[in-house]
Amino acid sequence: MEIRPILASLRKHRIPAILIVLEIALACAVLCNAVFMIGQRVVDIQRSNAIDERGIGVITVDGSDPKMASSDIPRNLARLRAIAGVQAVAVTNTVPLSNNNWGWAFGATPDSRFNDAVNISAYFLSEGGDRALGLQLLQGRFFSSDEYADSKRGSMPLVDTHVVIITQSLAERMWPGQSALGKVLYSKPLAYTVVGVVADVLRPFVNSQKAWYSTFFPLSPDGALSYYVVRSAPQDRDRVVRQAQQTLSELDPIAVVKGHSYTDIRERYFANMSSMAWMLVLVCVVMLAVTAFGIVGLTSFWVQQRRRQIGIRRAVGATRGHIMQYFQAENFLLSTAGVVIGMGLAFGINLYLMQHYEMERMPWYYLPGGAIALWLIGQFAVFGPARRAAAVPPVVATRSA
């Protein structure tokens, strides 16, 4: 099919053609970035977390006197262990995805500058914390009883016992291609020797690729430890959480005690993210529908405006197939112009989001993916008006001029 007649017709109908091109360009730009953002949200929601999520219950205790809380922790742990079905219990300062983040900066050398340091999340565990969380040891060992007994918090939030367990992702970040065992994490004036590496555990607050930069410190009973972690078989978990909450409420009547299964904590953390993903899906669907209906409306308008042209072509031998091919080719040209502009606009929007909202760079394959989607939408949308144009009898089209 010759392109020159199509281009001549489009020049004659500049405004509708420009409107379709702009509509497709905007749709392509929004679609590429929206689908990328949806993908990022799905990846975040499905991030792995190397603890026993299905068997863990978490009971928080707020409002206790910190000094009394420290002395009461051994008693509370003993009472929780006595609950039928409890496999392990410990107390910690926070848990993954709780939004209660204890962040700190560490470097791999004593003179690490602030810009060179890595921001991590610090988990302080009472004895048995590794079993209660279900940590998966990859290298080295867990903490010994002596390291728990000798640990305490100093003037800073960090502890004075100079040993630490880190996640695999943090080990690879700090010492790429090397074993982390025996290496030292520095945070002036303190230094911590890595005694163990565990599978990746999420931070209390997920932050893109730094989601697994977690560290674990031993800590003797301390007022900072207000998250009781109770581990049981998954089928016993809900009952154990209820009994643990009741037990701690009886032991400390003035405290505010709340119990949750860990799966509820995870679902609550990602609830807004999930809602945003579905909202973006709805935006994409509505945008594509509006684009399709816009193409249908403008193409139908063109068909009415060019009835005489269609009739003349039919009279000189053009078949219904030729007429349909004409409108489909015309739409393909407009869609191509739109997606070319749209891909450039999509890239620019992504750069803006990266600079102002800490978004990641959009992979290149989202751009041709969006282009293909808009080409298909355009061809589908023009199919109905093209069929109606092809169905116009030559004599009717000619007389209507």
At 1 the pLDDT is 54
Asked whether the whole model's pTM tops 0.75, one would answer yes
Residue 92 makes CB contacts below 8 A (sequence gap 6+) with 123, 124, 125, 126, 129, 133, 225, 227, 229
CA angle 297, 341, 279 (to 5 degrees): 70
Q: Which two tokens stand for residue 172?
A: 């690879």
The single residue listed with the structure tokens 């009994």 is 243
* Tens digits of pLDDT across the chain (401 residues): 567 766 666 677 677 778 888 888 888 888 888 899 898 888 888 889 999 999 999 999 987 766 667 788 999 999 999 999 999 999 999 999 999 988 888 988 887 665 678 889 999 999 999 999 999 999 999 999 999 988 888 766 788 888 999 999 999 999 999 999 999 998 877 889 999 999 999 999 886 668 899 999 999 888 888 899 999 999 999 999 999 999 999 988 888 999 999 999 999 999 888 888 899 999 888 888 888 888 888 777 777 766 667 777 777 777 777 778 777 888 888 888 888 998 899 888 888 887 777 677 888 888 888 888 888 888 888 888 777 777 767 665 555 44
3-state secondary structure 275-312: HHHHHHHHHHHHHHHHHHHHHHHHHHHHHHHCHHHHHH
Q: Domain residue spans in the chain?
A: 4-46+272-399, 64-254
- Rounded Cα distance between 349 and 175, Å, is 35
Is 41 in contact with 274 (CB distance < 8 Å)?
yes
| SS3 category, 185 | strand
At 169 the pLDDT is 94
| Bridge partners of residue 167, in order along the sequence | 198
At 160 the pLDDT is 81
